[in-house]
Chain A
Amino acid sequence: DIQMTQSPSSLSASVGDRVTITCRASQGITNYLAWFQQKPGKAPRSLIYAASRLHSGVPSKFSGSGSGTDFTLIISSLQPEDFATYYCQQYYNYPPTFGPGTKVDIK
């Protein structure tokens, strides 16, 4: 299985901050990388697929980049509704695997 790692595992930020989360795959996955947002007690929400493409309805403050093994999710200006846990996932080969998550909370 392809192993996914994320850093940091958690971060504290303020409203208006620019937040960067990184994700690394144990082998190259081209751009078969997705990002999900999950709030406590809720199902994950799909944010980004193909490393940089926003799902329908996802605001442009979210952006993704990267290819190969290293990827980044950026939230340009953190808002109260963005405090959540963020997961990356590779779907390059089976089984699809998720990173351990990055929890973003309020400073």
Chain B
Amino acid sequence: QVQLQESGPRLVKPSQTLSLTCTVSGGSISSGTYYWSWIRQPAGKGLEWIGRIYTSGSTNYNPSLRSRVTLSVDTSRNQFFLKLTSVTAADTAVYYCATGGLDGTTDYWGQGTLVTVSS
């Protein structure tokens, strides 16, 4: 079974860039059978899909975040990455990496990491 683990700074200053890494185990990120996604959840609120990336590097982003989000993948390290620029307090949330099938399902989730935007 695929397992995912988020890592990265827990505190980011306003206007700076949030950077997270998702490390995949139990499966190869280059297998070509999964998409690799990021989803976030502000405290006490619902879930927001950020975007997804395929092994080839092709991406889909939420239009609401597209201008600030970049996803990338490193198949040699079995990792994929999230960068969110120009953050504000509204970007404070638990960030989850997840994976799912090519049909768009979300099958496996990381445990999540809380990122706080504050000076």
Interface residues, chain A, CB within 8 Å of chain B? 1, 32, 34, 36, 42-46, 49-50, 55, 87, 89, 91-92, 94-101
Contact = CB atoms under 8 A, between A and B. Distances in A.
A52 B55 CA distance: 28
A89 B106 contact: yes
B75 to A, nearest CB: 24
Given A43-B96, A43-B111, A98 B47 contact: yes
Contacts, number: 56
A1 B5 CA distance: 29
A97 B110 CA distance: 19
A43 B107 contact: no
Contact of A45 (B47, B49, B64, B109): B109
Interface of B: 46-49, 60-64, 96, 103-112
A57 B106 CA distance: 15
Contact of A98 (B48, B60, B111): B48
Nearest to B101: A49
Contacts of B111: 42-43
28 contacts: A1-B63, A32-B103, A32-B104, A36-B106, A42-B111, A43-B96, A43-B109, A43-B112, A46-B105, A46-B106, A46-B107, A46-B109, A49-B105, A50-B103, A55-B107, A89-B47, A91-B103, A91-B104, A92-B104, A94-B63, A95-B49, A95-B62, A95-B64, A96-B49, A96-B104, A98-B48, A99-B46, A100-B46
